[in-house]
Amino acid sequence: METVLSGIRSTGNLHLGNYLGAVQNFVKMQNDYKCYFFIADYHSLTTHPTPENLHSSVRQVLVEYLAAGIDPEKSTLYIQSDVPEITELYLLLNMNAYMGELARTTTFKEKARQQPENVNAGLLTYPVLMAADIIIHNADKVPVGKDQEQNLEMARRFARRFNNMYSVEYFKEPQAFNFGKELIKIPGLDGSGKMGKSEGNGIYLADEASVIRKKVMRALTDSGPTEKNSEMPESIQNLFTIMKVVSTPDTVKFFEEQYANCEIRYGDLKKQLAEDVIKMLAPINQKIKEIDADSEYLSKVAKMGAEKARENASKTLKDVKEIIGFRRFW
């Protein structure tokens, strides 16, 4: 059985895009692969969260992963900082990672441009920590978005470099997991191409119905079509993209025909879309409330996940250190 690994930064609530684009597929994968899903709290330190925000964000993502259907009995669900072997492997990999290649990565250059006052070493070595996350479990496949493909290539490079340096075939070279037709990209409500946490244009799994209605009603639209069968602008296409995922085919067809005939009323479209989103998220929203209230269960899940992850990670680290030449005298 192939090993699949994926992590998500603990930087806030999961949104509709996270769920439909990734987590929904993770739930299906649990039966066909050996799955490791983790909350990347070390990665979030590059933005300097407060201690209170760091802990609450990790807890929130854990709650929402579980509410969305990740089964801790089927998968290994863990918090990155609960597995110290990751940071030790990160240190070892850093010794064979070079400034030039790290500084050339697209993600580093983008982050440095976005936060020029906080260009820290963690941003520079982000791909190394990501590589450690992946190869500590010798993952075969990693579901990644377009923005992380280069970092996955870096992980392959570091795995290959280790193997070549020590003349071993220890690490696999992880490949991107392709969801194919099942990959759903959810756009933002502000007319942008992607729903995201930092963009503030998302519908969150934990949002109450009233909040969802307000967000959808504020979604960017235009003054409406003036010619029949005219092409939709991006902001309107985005609303229909979401509708095709959460609404019935008949509903989508009705509003598409309304648009094509220049009879569309965006207020009606948004009201329908909001109610369909609320209906789809209602079971998850209820589970979030139930799990969030059960601290004992969350503690049990986090402890079990850490133990399962460390069992595998400690073996990898032991092997790596022996290959490098670290051997105890006692």
The set of catalytic residues is 111, 194, 197
Question: With contact defined as beta carbons under 8 Å apart, do 174 and 156 qualify?
Answer: yes
Tokens of 283: 């079971």
The label of the residue with tokens 């051997």 reads 327
Query: Which residues, at least 6 apart from 187, have a Cβ–Cβ distance to it below 8 Å?
Result: 193, 194, 195, 237, 238, 241, 242
Angle at 306 between CA 302 and CA 307, to 5 degrees: 120
Report d(CA 161, CA 168) in Å as an integer: 10
Q: Any long-range contacts for 79-82 (C-beta under 8 Å, 24+ apart)?
A: 79/38, 79/39, 79/41, 79/302, 79/305, 79/306, 80/7, 80/38, 80/39, 80/40, 80/41, 80/42, 80/43, 80/133, 81/41, 81/42, 82/302, 82/305, 82/306, 82/309, 82/310
Identify the three-state secondary structure at position 136: coil
